[in-house]
Chains A and B, each alone.
Chain A
Amino acid sequence: MQGSELKNKAEQREKKYARRLLGPLTNYRRALAVLLAMAVFCPANPTALAGRLSKDRLGREVMLPDNPRRVVALAPSITEIIYALGLEKHLVGATLYSDYPARALGLPRVGSYVNLDLEKIVALKPDLCIAIKDGNPKAIIDRLEDLKIPVYAVDPRNLDSVMDTIVSLGRLFNARQRADLLVRGMSFRIQRVKQTLVDLEHRPGVFFQIGVAPIVSVGTNTFIHELIVLAGGENLAAGSVPYPRYNWEHLLALAPEIIIITSMTKAAVFEQVKAQWDQWPQIPAVRDQRVYIENSDLFDRPSPRLVDALEVLARLIHPERVGDGLK
């Protein structure tokens, strides 16, 4: 039901914006180039107020600075979104593992997103911290508020909420047009995948493996599930458990047609995992040699690159439809 809701919203956006787009935008950097061209024609929005109260995703009223100039992103996904918006000049700190884009590696680190280093955050003299609702511990957010550092919580969880987050951050930084353009680019690409995969006669069963030992997959309430469905597959691990564990008995019974493994570790581990799967030629995916490994950082955080992930999945699941058409 989440998928259909998303579909409607995305379609509305698409109807609104598709005509205005001159051509397909294949990544947000290109979107930014278009935006810069547009910025010449659009005067800056002169609505800056003297501090503004805004409700964040934790339902807290946050007093935001007019023009945030020293921002600490408390999760890798937020760092990515700020870079995608081209607003990185306001970013003064990021968390460990904020490794995309590569330029973000140069930012000062403030601990990992669950184990934040309060002292380092304070030392950066931020005028705003951006947190994620279910990722950063609430205690940290409270501590920062005690120390008079405003914290704005966002909640990127899937494609739709990533786009919402982009819009909120665009408002926060007084950069609505950039945010709009980025969202339009994403919607366009999502729509293009949908059109390519319209009227599918078969949705292959996909087993998406995010953990090696134990074998872990993704349930219904995850963005990877959403991507699999949008990419024309059936998530075999769908269900209420977000990250269900599997054993080989289960997997033989599931008989996946496609197996996608994401791994943060190197190819050697993948060969081991693939060798494990190869013991079971009765599994259709193994028999048809449709066991794939994909770059995990594309799939492990809800960022604008989810659209890249979607296109990758669509190509893996429906090569007959997609071919090399999306990139």
Chain B
Amino acid sequence: MELLQITKPSDFPLISTKKIVQMNNVYASYDSKNYVLKEITLSIDRGTIYVIVGQSGSGNLLFLNL
């Protein structure tokens, strides 16, 4: 019931009505050469606690800053 009609195939393949953050194949870098984040695909539901675990320097902060 929560699935909506997909209009653009380039967008997210599945869209439920309660996602608050979606990322699809995201790459990010500070210096536009070395990617700090690679191939991040995720979706975060509304009303949940989502924790990112990683060592310092693994791109956690950049992740929040996107």
- Tell me if chain B binds chain A: no
Mark B residues whose CB is within 8 Å of A: none
Q: Which residues of A approach B to under 8 Å, CB–CB?
A: none
